[in-house]
Amino acid sequence: MADPVFMGLASLAVLVLLIAIRMPIAYAMILVGGIGIAIVNGPALVLSQLKTLAYGQFSIYDLSVVPMFILMGALASRAGLSQALFRAANAWLGWMRGGTAMAAIAGCAGFGAVCGSSLATASTMGRVALPELKRYRYSGALATGSLAAGGVLGILIPPSVVLVVYAIIVEANIVTMFAAALLPGLLAVVFFMLTIAIYVALNPDAGPKHDGVARAEFRAATIGILPVVAIFGTVLGGIYAGFYNPTPAAAVGVALVGLYGAITRQIRIGDLVDSLKETAGTTGMIYLILLGAELMKIYMSRIGLPQETAAWIIGTGMEPMMVLMLLLLGLILLGCLMDSLSMILLVIPFFWPVLVDLNGGLYAGAEGSGFGMSTEDLKIWFGILALIVVELGLITPPVGMNVFVISALAKDTPMIETFKGVAPFFLAELIRVATLFSFPVLVLWLPKLLSG
């Protein structure tokens, strides 16, 4: 057999090339992984794997939470929750210079808490907030940049589909991962609002002040947000309190959002059908990517590339923290080419064993010398850091999916202006990564508190 490092790198290069020529990521991974296994072990093994692999992957109970959270987000985008969130946030913050942009960030955070998708958050909040930002004469760069950046909150603030997939890959507790993501998610909201405050302080015309809303409108907007708070509290509060695990919680969330939409007459039969179709399409795409990622994982394991990589890294004597920094940098660069879920599925199974080896303990709970924490704590801390740098790919050129989504809505703002507007938020994200990298307690405190 050829050198495993050469085979592995050549396969990854082919995978990137296929993605670059616009082949869907799922098909690219299935093709490269399947052909790789056939070369190494023969075509019979590929057929044998395909016979049982799909069922084995898709029948995992924890994975059933994915379509439920997707359906909850699809219904939430049609139920008027985004309008209620933005209206309330704007009533509270809009009177400040840059306050409407801050309200858009707060609205994105709130909607992400009942949606779990960054692209859906950016698209939905963009439709709601862009007209208001234009009405108050915000600059195109700040208006579109803040919405593109705010959209990334959907991937981290629980519930998050990508976070669920990460937890399944590394065999982490989903509830623990949700708890670990909460404080870093709120930290992002604070950093983004500070970024807007600095932006408008340096460029006052970018976010003009305007009069606050009347007291009656303020009261109505605040009352209007109570259903959203109730849904969020019931879903996540029930999970953290131990009343139910994530899958039943997602089902409760779907029921509550659907009930709210029916009562307010925002969701009709046609909207329900559209939501189910959207859920089926998105879930099918995610499951197909899961299948492709598993084939890639089997192929890489059979040629021994993860083991060779781990041995090489350990042999270099490089400090574990430096290895982790280089890995996070690689994820940022990879985010320029791939979507967040594909990155998690492709990279995490490959590098997570390397980090475990560097930590010095292969068993959960073993105290490792590499990162100064147990393997269980490492998987939580690394997962949150990985998701944050994956977020950066959504606002990084040349792909920057959130930027494309917002640019499609703001047709009068050139895309270059949106990238300029999102640059300060990118810097804020780098500062957040550095903060969480330097102080792991910010990630681990809440999970440890809830675990007693």
pLDDT tens-digit map of 354-366:
888 888 744 334 4
| Domain of 155, in residue numbers | 63-281
pLDDT at 362: 41
Tokens of 351: 């590098």
Q: What letter represents residue 116's amino acid?
A: G
**Quick one: average pLDDT of 396-421?**
83
Question: How does residue 452 score in pLDDT terms, banded at 50, 70 and 90?
Answer: low
Q: Is 398 a domain residue?
A: no
Token representation of residue 207? 């976010």
CA distances from 185 to 22, 55, 314, 414 (A): 32, 34, 33, 29
Residues 99 and 167 both lie in one domain = yes
Domain check: are 170 and 294 in the same one?
A: no
Are both 227 and 86 inside the same structural domain? yes
Q: What integer pLDDT is reported at residue 331 of this predicted model?
A: 83
pLDDT value, residue 425: 94
Tokens found for residue 198: 């600095």
pLDDT for the residue 368: 44
Rounded percentage of the chain residues whose pLDDT exceeds 90 = 21
Which of 12-21, 25-34, 126-135, 188-197 tops mean pLDDT?
188-197
Residues 230 and 294 grouped into a single domain: no
Output the pLDDT for position 365. 41
Q: pTM score, two decimals?
A: 0.86
Mean pLDDT score of the chain, rounded to an integer? 84
Q: What is the pLDDT of residues 134-181, one digit of tens each?
A: 888 899 899 999 999 998 888 888 888 888 889 888 888 888 999 999
CB 79 within 8 A of CB 266: yes
Do residue 108 and residue 14 come from a single domain?
A: no
**Interval 114-124 mean pLDDT:** 79
Q: Residue 432 pLDDT more than 90? A: yes
Contact 119, 163 (CB under 8 A): no
Query: Is 259 inside a domain boundary?
Result: yes
Residue 159, preceding peptide bond in cis (omega within 30° of 0) = yes
**Residues for the chain: how many in total?**
452
Confidence at residue 363, expressed as pLDDT on a 0 to 100 scale:
37
**Is 401 within the bounds of a domain?**
no
pLDDT the model gives residue 55:
79
Range name among 123-127, 218-222, 308-312, 370-374 with the lowest pLDDT average: 308-312
| Position 19 in a domain | yes
Separation between Cα atoms, residue 165 and residue 174, nearest integer Å:
9
128 lies in the same domain as 250: yes
Spatial CA neighbour of 382 closest among 347, 341, 342: 347
Are 275 and 292 found together in one domain?
A: no
Domain boundary among 281, 312, 347: 281
Domain stop point among 271, 303, 335: 303
Q: What is the pLDDT of residues 295-337, one digit of tens each?
A: 888 888 788 777 777 777 777 777 888 888 888 888 887 776 6
Is 429 within the bounds of a domain?
A: no
Question: Is 17 within the bounds of a domain?
Answer: yes
Same domain, yes or no: 68 and 53 = no
Same domain, 118 and 203: yes
Question: Does one domain contain both 202 and 112?
Answer: yes
Per mean pLDDT, which of 7-21, 45-59, 262-276 is the most reliable?
262-276
pLDDT at 398: 67
- Give the model's confidence band at 46: pLDDT under 50 very low, under 70 low, under 90 confident, else very high: confident
What would the mean pLDDT of 404-425 be, rounded to a whole number?
88
Q: What is the pLDDT of residue 366?
A: 42
Highest mean pLDDT pick, 154-163, 275-284, 401-410: 275-284
First to last CA, the chain: 51
Residues 46, 13 share a domain = yes
How high is the pLDDT of residue 385? 94
Q: What pLDDT, on the 0 to 100 scale, is given for residue 367?
A: 45
Burial of 363 (0-12, 13-18, 19+ CB in 10 A): exposed
CA 281 to chain centre: 19
Q: Look at residue 356 and tell me if it is in a domain.
A: no
Q: Identify whether 358 is part of a domain.
A: no
Of 241, 268, 303, the residue that ends a domain is: 303
- 39 with 80, same domain: the answer is no
Q: Which residues contact residue 289 at a Cβ distance below 8 angstroms, ignoring those fewer than 6 apart?
A: 25, 26, 29, 341, 342, 345
Alpha carbons 314 and 357: distance in angstroms, whole number: 8
Is there a contact between 436 and 443 (Cβ–Cβ < 8 Å)?
A: yes
Total tally of structural domains belonging to the chain: 2
What percentage of residues in the chain have a pLDDT greater than 70?
A: 95
> What band does 2 get if pLDDT is binned at 50, 70 and 90?
low
* 395 burial via Cβ count (<10 Å: 0-12, 13-18, 19+): buried
